[in-house]
């Protein structure tokens, strides 16, 4: 009973009841018994959608009630704003929520006044590196999706960050939320936390495999779902769910597949709509088209009008939330999605169909089966509490052997154990430098002692591997002048401190420094290529024909590249170099004002990807500018200009205009063509001309003029004149 929970601000139990929470779910009750509202640490390993968020909220509220400050760590930036919005419901209890999403190199001091801060683990790591003073005030930290410490790329950051926060405040309460994993006890051991491990779910879940016209469930029961001639099994399953007025989530393995599936499934959903739904969907499709002027926007609107949608990381944030909301409101009947949706977005559905259980994996060199953990998280999205009698999760098989395999591999299987990836070299490079730079360790022994607080150390039964990775990493850092070693003493150099604060992988920094040192008069393409070939940039893949195209470009513009061009015979290196060139060329096109639509076509990417590359390049070029400044290199101005051009996506002559808020690349070009060429021109030029260039949008024009510092930005006089002219006619 919520009224019996100790430690909460007065009124919270009543508030919970009003928001539909009459009683705690069993895992939540166990968590309260374990003392989460009295400062105790906890690992909660429970299924998706069984109320983990409330466990975290109870812990944070009680910590704040005792005068403390809480931090909620999310795995994806996209989830941060969602969580913040969720926590804002506690405003009535005087709990302020802040979100930390700004760029890396800042300490965001205003967050000191917030009771709960939401941030990604990368952001928290960088706040610690930059010495944000409020970090010392934290009393409670929540790690959402803590099983992601297993992720080779991002896991180590979460692991090291938790270790640092616990070192800063040894009494820190840690609440770690995890999917159901076998070795949650090891995670609890590591964090000195109690463990709640449960399979309880608010809605029953049946899992099974569809084959030969029927779903066979884990309890051996069957449901007939025949597949018509020429029909696809996914369509038959979606149709079958709709017959019972239920919705479906279909998981596929690529964005292209998600879009193609949505197109096909839209023909199924279109037959099940009421007139009223058709009208509402048409309005939603209009909203979606209005978000951006891209093909993705149009494609999404087209399927949405028929009651279906696709969802993947390439979608704009507004698209995503429009789609998620409409699906929750049961207006959209099916979403075909890549697994990002399974990761965190709270979008349950009557039936979940895992269509693709293999995905292309570059490192593996072919199609690789998904992890059990990942598939179970997709399963977990089945069943909407209070709406569905049960949820169904279905895999698809096209022969009997596959059906058996799927039962064994996923239905009857336990998820993989969570395994620390900290000993991987890129992680070590970055985190050792940061640990030294922010003074957490000053000797080799000190480093090893710090690392002893990580999950890696908890799991390793002998530490020789860790020691040898530490030694080779230290050698690397010393050789590249990031770290000085004198006797026992280890300190970061000026360059090392800068690199750590900039949140760069030391290997990226080394590449950039080498490139800039020899650059006399670098061109933008040369600089883009330099940052694109660092390990901090995810490069575009080469598709068929690309090798030839970019090899040609490589010879054409050879003089512009910084550093040695690998020979065509160094197969792998040359290939990577070309991928970086393709990415750099995308950036160059972007700064030559090529339309986003053309870019998505030309490079085979979504608008969200372009944004991602642009943001990363802007950050890396900003870092390059700082490094060049510190090293007193001649190329500083060239680097700054290249960064600005990427930031605004414009040619050189528009830099001044595009720097005015609300202008943007397209409007800057139209203004320029109308003769308004600079910020100063915005302050002086004829308002009617400006309004014309802005296609008559008065509000926009006023905002822009205000931002440009014009004394009287109002468009009233222009309108009055126009009205007078019209009257004279
Ligand atoms: P998880 O984080 O475990 O995936 P959530 O915390 O998002 O799951 O919870 C899923 C849904 O269950 C939310 O809509 C939440 O409001 C609801 N919920 C949580 N706890 C309770 C409860 N005790 N009683 C009723 N509904 C609850």
pLDDT digits 0-9 by tens, 217-250? 999 999 999 999 999 999 999 999 999 999 999 9
Atom 22 (ligand 1): residue with closest C-alpha? 21
Q: Whose CA is closest to atom 5 on ligand 1?
A: 51
Where do you find CATH 1.10.10.10 in the chain? 425-501
Distance, CA 382 to ligand 1 centroid (Å)? 14
Higher pLDDT, 469 or 101: 469
Kindly report, residue by residue over 537-546, the tens digit of the pLDDT. 988 888 888 9
Maximum average pLDDT range among 99-103, 109-113, 166-170, 364-368:
166-170
In the chain, CATH 1.10.3380.30 sits at 506-649
Per-residue pLDDT tens for 59-72? 999 999 999 999 99
Beta strands in 232-362 (DSSP E): 248-251, 308-311, 334-337, 351-354, 358-361
Residue 239 CA to residue 304 CA, distance in Å, equals 17
Ligand 1 is surrounded, with C-beta below 6 A, by 20-21, 24-25, 28, 48-54, 346, 385
Q: Which CATH number fits domain 2-197: 3.30.70.360, 1.10.10.10, 3.90.550.10, 3.40.50.300?
A: 3.40.50.300
The answer to whether residue 513 scores a pLDDT higher than 60 is yes
CATH of 425-501, one of 2.60.120.560, 3.20.20.70, 3.40.50.720, 1.10.10.10: 1.10.10.10
Distance (angstroms) between ligand 1 centre and the Cα of 181 equals: 19
DSSP 136: G
The whole-angstrom separation of Cα 46 and Cα 52 is: 7
Predicted confidence band at 390 (pLDDT cuts at 50, 70, 90)? confident
Cα Rg, the chain, nearest whole Å = 28
Average pLDDT over residues 198-207: 93
User: What are 660-664's contacts with CB under 8 Å, separation 24+?
Assistant: 660/704, 660/707, 660/708, 661/703, 661/704, 661/707, 662/700, 662/703, 662/704, 662/707, 663/704, 663/707
Neighbours of 446 (CB within 10 A): 16
Atom number, ligand 1, closest to the C-alpha of residue 25? 23
Pinpoint the residues of the chain covered by CATH 3.40.50.300: 2-197, 204-411
CATH 1.10.3380.30 describes domain 506-649: yes
Q: Residue of the nearest CA to atom 8 in ligand 1?
A: 49
Residue 570, burial from CB neighbour count under 10 angstroms (0-12, 13-18, 19+)? exposed
Residue 698 C-alpha to ligand 1 middle, in angstroms?
45
CA distance linking residue 342 with residue 48, whole number of Å: 9
Q: Which atom of ligand 1 is nearest to the CA of 28?
A: 23
Look up the CATH superfamily of 204-411. P-loop containing nucleotide triphosphate hydrolases (3.40.50.300)
Q: What is the pLDDT of residue 463?
A: 77
The answer to whether 115 and 64 are in contact (CB under 8 A) is yes
Q: Which of 53, 177, 180 to mutate to test the pocket of ligand 1 (most atoms within 8 A of CB)?
A: 53
Closest CA to 71 of 36, 131, 31, 119: 119
Q: Please give the Cα distance from 127 to 100 (Å, whole number).
A: 9
CA 357 to chain centre: 22
**Residue 350 pLDDT greater than 80, yes or no:** yes
Q: What does the block give as tokens for 183? A: 């070795």
CA of 53 from ligand 1 middle (Å) equals 7
- Which of 16, 23, 54 to probe ligand 1 with, by most ligand atoms within 8 A of CB? 54
- Distances in whole angstroms, Cα of residue 415 to Cα of each of 11, 329, 344: 40, 32, 18
Kindly state the tokens that stand for 447. Answer: 């480093």
Nearest residue by C-alpha to atom 17 in ligand 1: 51
Average model confidence (pLDDT) across the chain: 91
The alpha carbon of 479 and the centre of ligand 1 are apart by a number of angstroms equal to 51
**Protein residue whose Cα sits closest to atom 10 of ligand 1:** 49
pLDDT at 489 (0 to 100): 94
Q: Pick the residue whose CA is nearest to atom 18 on ligand 1.
A: 51
17 CA → ligand 1 middle, Å:
13
What pLDDT score does 362 carry?
A: 62
Nearest CA to ligand 1 atom 23: 24
- Quick check: ipTM above 0.95? yes
Q: What is the pLDDT of residues 134-178, one digit of tens each?
A: 999 999 999 999 999 998 888 999 999 999 999 999 999 999 999
Q: At what angle do helices 636-648 and 607-630 cross, to 10 degrees?
A: 160
């Amino acid at each position: 009973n919520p009224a019996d929970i100790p430690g909460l601000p007065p009124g919270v139990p009543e508030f919970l009841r009003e928001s539909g929470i009459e009683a705690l779910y069993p895992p939540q009750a166990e968590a309260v018994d374990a003392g989460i509202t009295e400062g105790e640490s906890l690992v909660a390993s429970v299924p998706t959608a069984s109320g983990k968020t409330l466990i975290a909220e109870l812990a944070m509220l009680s910590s704040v009630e005792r005068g403390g400050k809480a931090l909620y760590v999310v795995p994806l930036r996209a989830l941060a704003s969602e969580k913040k919005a969720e926590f804002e419901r506690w405003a009535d209890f005087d709990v302020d929520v802040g979100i930390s999403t700004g760029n890396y190199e800042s300490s965001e001091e205003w967050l000191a006044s917030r009771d709960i801060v939401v941030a990604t683990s990368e952001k928290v790591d960088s706040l610690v590196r930059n010495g944000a003073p409020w970090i010392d005030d934290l009393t409670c930290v929540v790690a959402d999706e803590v099983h992601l410490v297993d992720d080779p790329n991002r896991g180590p950051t979460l692991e090291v960050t938790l270790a640092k926060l616990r070192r800063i405040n040894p009494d820190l309460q840690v609440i770690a939320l995890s999917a159901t994993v076998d070795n949650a006890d090891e995670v609890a051991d590591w964090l000195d936390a109690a463990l709640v491990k449960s399979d309880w779910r608010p809605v029953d879940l049946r899992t099974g495999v569809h084959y030969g016209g029927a779903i066979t469930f884990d309890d051996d029961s069957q449901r007939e779902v025949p597949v018509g001639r020429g029909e696809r099994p996914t369509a038959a399953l979606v149709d079958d769910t709709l017959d019972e007025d239920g919705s479906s989530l279909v998981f596929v393995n690529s964005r292209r597949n998600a879009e193609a599936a949505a197109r096909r499934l839209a023909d199924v959903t279109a037959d099940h709509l009421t007139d009223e739904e058709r009208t509402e969907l048409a309005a939603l499709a209009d909203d979606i088209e209005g978000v951006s002027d891209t093909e993705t926007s149009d494609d999404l609107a087209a399927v949405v009008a028929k009651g279906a949608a696709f969802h993947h990381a390439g979608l704009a944030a507004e698209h995503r939330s429009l789609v998620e909301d409409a699906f929750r409101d049961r207006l959209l009947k099916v979403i075909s999605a890549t697994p990002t949706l399974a990761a965190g977005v709270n979008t349950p559905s009557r039936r979940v169909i895992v269509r693709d259980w293999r995905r292309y994996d570059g490192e593996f060199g072919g199609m690789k089966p998904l992890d059990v953990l990942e598939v179970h998280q997709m399963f977990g999205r089945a069943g909407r509490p209070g709406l569905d009698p049960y949820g169904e999760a279905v895999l698809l098989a096209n022969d009997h052997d596959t059906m058996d395999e799927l039962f064994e591999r996923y239905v009857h299987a336990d998820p993989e154990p969570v395994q620390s990836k900290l000993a991987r070299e890129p992680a070590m490079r970055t985190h050792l430098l940061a640990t030294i730079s922010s003074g957490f360790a000053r000797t080799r022994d000190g480093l090893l002692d710090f690392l002893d607080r990580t999950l890696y150390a908890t799991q390793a039964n002998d530490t020789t591997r860790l020691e040898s990775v530490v030694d080779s990493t230290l050698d690397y850092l010393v050789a590249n002048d990031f770290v000085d070693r004198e006797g026992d003493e280890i300190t970061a150099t000026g360059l090392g401190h800068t690199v750590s604060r900039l949140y760069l992988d030391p290997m990226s920094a080394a590449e950039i420094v080498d490139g800039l040192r020899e650059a006399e008069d670098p061109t933008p393409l040369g600089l883009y290529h330099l940052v694109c070939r660092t390990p901090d940039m995810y490069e575009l893949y080469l598709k068929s024909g690309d090798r030839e195209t970019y090899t040609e470009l490589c010879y054409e513009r050879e003089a512009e590249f910084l550093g040695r061009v690998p020979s065509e015979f160094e197969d792998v290196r040359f290939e990577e170099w070309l991928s970086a060139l393709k990415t750099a060329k995308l950036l160059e096109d972007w700064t030559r004002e090529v339309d986003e639509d053309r870019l998505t076509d030309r490079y085979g990417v979504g608008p969200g990807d372009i944004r991602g590359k642009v943001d990363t390049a802007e950050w890396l070029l900003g870092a390059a500018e700082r490094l060049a400044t510190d090293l007193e290199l001649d190329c500083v101005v060239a680097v700054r200009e290249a960064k600005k051009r990427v930031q605004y996506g414009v040619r050189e002559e528009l830099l001044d205009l595009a720097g005015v808020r609300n202008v943007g690349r397209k409007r800057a070009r139209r203004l320029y063509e109308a003769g308004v060429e600079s910020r100063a021109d915005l302050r002086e030029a004829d308002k009617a001309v400006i309004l014309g260039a802005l296609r008559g949008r008065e509000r926009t024009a006023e905002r822009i003029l205000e931002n440009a510092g014009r004394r009287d930005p109002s468009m009233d006089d222009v309108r009055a004149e126009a009205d007078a002219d019209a009257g004279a006619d």
